[in-house]
């Protein structure tokens, strides 16, 4: 299972990569969905929490997050923060 800290780190990573134009650089819709999903994830544990679990993401936001997780960048990130896709 993904911890609150892990969700926040994943959200930050999505936002950082989008800001650097390294995630979905040619797909504006998925880029926006990744940023929106990241913004929701970084609110975990706050009073204005917009993310309880992955069901809070839209279909396209989920597609953007899963696309990152399944990518080489995503696998490397998960390894760096000691997560595996099995824990998601």
What pTM does this model have?
0.88
Angle between helices 28-41 and 59-70 (to 10 degrees): 90
Question: pLDDT tens for residues 40-84?
Answer: 999 998 888 888 889 999 999 999 999 999 999 998 888 887 765
If one counts the domains in the chain, the total is: 1
Q: Which residue has the higher pLDDT, 29 or 86?
A: 29
Query: What's the confidence (pLDDT) of residue 40?
Result: 96
Question: pLDDT tens for residues 5-45?
Answer: 888 999 999 999 999 999 999 999 999 999 999 999 999 98
Q: Measure the CA–CA gap between 75 and 36, rounded to whole angstroms.
A: 21
| Domain span holding position 58 | 4-87
């Amino acid at each position: 299972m993904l911890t609150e800290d892990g969700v926040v780190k994943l959200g930050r990573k999505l936002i950082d990569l989008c800001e650097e134009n390294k995630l979905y650089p040619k797909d504006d819709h998925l880029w926006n969905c990744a940023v929106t999903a990241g913004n929701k994830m970084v609110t975990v544990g706050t009073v204005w929490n917009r993310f309880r679990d992955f069901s809070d993401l839209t279909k396209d936001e989920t597609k953007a997050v899963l696309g990152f997780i399944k990518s080489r960048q995503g696998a490397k990130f998960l390894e760096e923060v000691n997560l595996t896709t099995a824990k998601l």
